[in-house]
Amino acid sequence: MATDIRVALAGNPNCGKTTLFNRITGQNGYVGNWPGVTVEKKEARLSSDKNVVVTDLPGIYSLSPYSPEEQVSRDYLMSGEPDVVVNVVDATNLERNLYLTLQVVETGLPVVIALNMADLVEKSGDKIDAGKLSQRLGAPVVMISALKGSGVDELLRTARQEAAKAGSVPAHRFDSAIEGVLDDIEKLVPAGVEEGKRRYYAVKLFERDELAAKAISLSPASAAKVEALVAQCEKDCDDDAESIITGERYALIAHIMDECVKKAPAKMSTSEKIDRIVTNRILGLPIFLAVMFGVYYLAISTFGTAGTDWVNDNLFGEGWELFGAAMPSVPDVVTGWLEAAGASAMVTSLVVDGVVAGVGAVLGFIPQMVVLFILLSFLEDCGYMARVAFVMDRVFRRFGLSGKSFIPMLVSTGCGVPGVLATKTIENEKDRRMTVMTTTFIPCGAKLPIIALLMGALVGTSDATWIAPLFYFLGVVAVIVSGIMLKKTKLFAGRPTPFVMELPSYHFPSIRSWALHVWERVSAYIKKAFTIIFASTVVVWFLSNFGTAGWEGGSGAFGFLPDMEGVPEEFTDYSVLAMLGGAIAWIFAPLGFDSWQATAMSVTGLVAKENVVATAASLLHIADAGETDPSLWAAFAGMFSTMGGIMAFGAFNLLCAPCFAAMGTIRAQMNSAKWTAIALGYECGFAWVVGLMINQFYLLAQGVVSVWTVVAVAFAALILFQVFRPMPKGAWDDEPAAAAATA
């Protein structure tokens, strides 16, 4: 067997790297995290040659030591693993892209430069001399279009040829004064470092890059000599080392640009024209609101809901028609099979009421979610979301988040699992953690039936259009209040994160990448349906159908209740679930819902929010009742003594830790047990407090006062204090350390 060839894909964000990766590998890759950090690692084999493994490095602007993305990229490049680096360069933004290229070439690895979007450059009238560029950079240059696929075969052929080479000594040179110092430093690089990499380390040592010095175990004596050389050079140039090198790089790039690029007279690009309107000072916000309204109108009110209703009412409900022929629904088909196979009532109950009903409830959300993610992924991939961050940053910074936190929150309105995953695009770790903690406060698709049920119970109709927005509003307020409060705690203290963000040119995303993006998100949800929801429905079914026959005339034996002799209609009252719910109901008593049913519903809601309504129907003995069924509303409202209890129940269930799947995703994203515990603990605690305040203040308005009223007032005061007190003194004292740890 031939040994694998390992190709590393490197490039700036938005350079078309991911489009190229998807094109050359198909999509059957491995997606995971780089060790020790929350940075995504993607790896896949070429679809045309299984011996070639392609690793997609994170999109980066530089190989500086400051951000985790840049660190993993550096470490991987210097690890000796990749045989060749394909540096994807956005030809329409050549000057800035070449900045990374120079650093990649400096690694001494064989490099091929993929000049992406070369067709767009030609269309604009500019001319790039690829031959000369290749000569100046000391690496082959291939013009490609990742979107259309042109030049990709030649790129792969060239990469293969280069991979066979041992590497090269970087060809480009800086100003002679700096080169003299770099030569001296290079002599101090330990002898063990191979020829091609010496230049890279010399430059890094010049920049006072401590990670690089550690990587080659530079002796203290050499380090002192390097420091003396650098300090002298800084004095001579009247500038600091990092600035000197950055300046040299950009100066060199300016030379290269002069030689290799013939620019057509500048005219306003389409992107600029679009932005004149879209991020316009006056029109920016209205356009943003209109776009968001459009997305949700399509996903929630029209197409998406039509699909969801069809799945719920037909596929899993009454059956459907195909070309005039009546087709039975899934539960009917499954029941038929089980009867034909002679299954017992217990097995039929488990499969039909437990598994099919549970998974069906989840699958019903898929049409809605697909439409939502198609639209959101398009907005993200075409470049509009960067503008949203630009327009909204001011708002989000107020409560300690950046404009980039907005995207995960939008995705969370569909499902929290892809929402939490979408936090990957937030560079700063504190911001990312804060967004993970708060994003699931936004009501997801699975919480909508709960809202509908509450609406029915509160006002007797599920069409009261003002209640659903009220719960979204509650979610948004929870995010804002939490952001402001947490920002003032030790965990998140620190200067607001810098927001220096490229606004990429608008472009129509490749259908393949777009579809893949949607699929990644939808599949995260489907996986949840078939694992966690599947398992949890079985458990809930077991808990609510098994129990002790403790009714009058019952045998007192433990078993499958519906099969027992003299079983009453309300057998779930004797189930294990009733017992467990009763045992912990005291927790929710101050919130106004201490019945074991309401407790059990909340607990199953922690497993999956989809379970709440189904649990209500089964616990209240209303078979097959949905959230729009008035009999369920009445029975549900009957569990509570006051309206305050109903509202508190709603608030708790909408705000508490999301389902198991989202908790699992939070765990994976936080990459730390401590932070997961903090996130989930905060969410549940906050939900409990909000529920407590709602119920107690409702009771207070009715003239009912208890010790819990005092507690609720105390919590309210505490929250108000934390929200309105000024940023604690000394919160920014950790500035240099925090800045260095983030980026």
The residue ranges that bind another protein (CB under 8 A) are: 61-62, 64, 66-67, 93-96, 99, 239, 242-243, 246-247, 250, 271-272, 275, 279-282, 284-285, 386, 389-391, 393-395, 397, 496, 498-503, 505, 736, 739-740, 742-743
In the complex, minimum distance from the CB of residue 400 to another protein, in angstroms, rounded to a whole number:
14
d(CA 576, CA 571): 11
In the complex, minimum distance from the CB of residue 479 to another protein, in angstroms, rounded to a whole number:
18
In the complex, minimum distance from the CB of residue 498 to another protein, in angstroms, rounded to a whole number:
5
Contact at 8 Å (CB) between 518 and 589? no
Burial 687-715 (b: 16+ CB within 10 A, else e): bbbbbbbbbbbbbbeeeeeeebbeebeeb
Contact at 8 Å (CB) between 97 and 89? yes
Closest CB to another protein among 391 and 625? 391
Closest CB to another protein among 56 and 209? 209
d(CA 638, CA 457): 9
In the complex, minimum distance from the CB of residue 381 to another protein, in angstroms, rounded to a whole number:
18
The tokens for 682 are 């905060």
In the complex, minimum distance from the CB of residue 742 to another protein, in angstroms, rounded to a whole number:
6
DSSP string, 425-436: G--SHHHHHHHH
Closest CB to another protein among 238 and 552? 238
d(CA 387, CA 502): 10
The tokens for 83 are 């045989």
The tokens for 648 are 């508190």
Closest CB to another protein among 498 and 681? 498
What are all long-range contacts of 426-429, with beta carbons under 8 Å and residues at least 24 apart?
Answer: 426/402, 427/67, 427/69, 427/497, 427/742, 427/743, 428/402, 428/497, 428/742, 428/743, 429/38, 429/68, 429/741, 429/742
Contact at 8 Å (CB) between 142 and 151? yes
Contact at 8 Å (CB) between 74 and 224? no
Closest CB to another protein among 191 and 500? 500
Contact at 8 Å (CB) between 183 and 90? no
d(CA 594, CA 582): 8
In the complex, minimum distance from the CB of residue 203 to another protein, in angstroms, rounded to a whole number:
14
Closest CB to another protein among 179 and 735? 735
Q: At which residue do the structure tokens 């472009």 appear? A: 507
Closest CB to another protein among 250 and 560? 250
The CB density around residue 311, as the number of other CB atoms within 10 Å, is 20
Closest CB to another protein among 243 and 631? 243
Closest CB to another protein among 220 and 736? 736
Closest CB to another protein among 186 and 393? 393
Q: What are phi and psi of 112, to 5 degrees?
A: -120, 135
d(CA 427, CA 38): 10
In the complex, minimum distance from the CB of residue 496 to another protein, in angstroms, rounded to a whole number:
7
Closest by Cα among 598, 694, 596, 585 to 644: 694
d(CA 454, CA 459): 8
In the complex, minimum distance from the CB of residue 426 to another protein, in angstroms, rounded to a whole number:
15
The tokens for 398 are 């107020």
Closest CB to another protein among 237 and 484? 237
d(CA 187, CA 218): 12
DSSP 162: H
Closest CB to another protein among 407 and 415? 407
Contact at 8 Å (CB) between 593 and 640? yes
In the complex, minimum distance from the CB of residue 110 to another protein, in angstroms, rounded to a whole number:
24
Burial 610-636 (b: 16+ CB within 10 A, else e): bbbbbbbbbbbebeebbbbbeebbebb
d(CA 418, CA 415): 6
In the complex, minimum distance from the CB of residue 282 to another protein, in angstroms, rounded to a whole number:
7
Closest CB to another protein among 254 and 557? 254
The tokens for 337 are 């099979």
In the complex, minimum distance from the CB of residue 616 to another protein, in angstroms, rounded to a whole number:
43
In the complex, minimum distance from the CB of residue 273 to another protein, in angstroms, rounded to a whole number:
13
Closest CB to another protein among 319 and 496? 496
- Inter-helix orientation angle 467-487/673-701, to 10°: 120
Burial level of 423, CB count in 10 A (0-12/13-18/19+)? buried
In the complex, minimum distance from the CB of residue 262 to another protein, in angstroms, rounded to a whole number:
14
In the complex, minimum distance from the CB of residue 632 to another protein, in angstroms, rounded to a whole number:
44
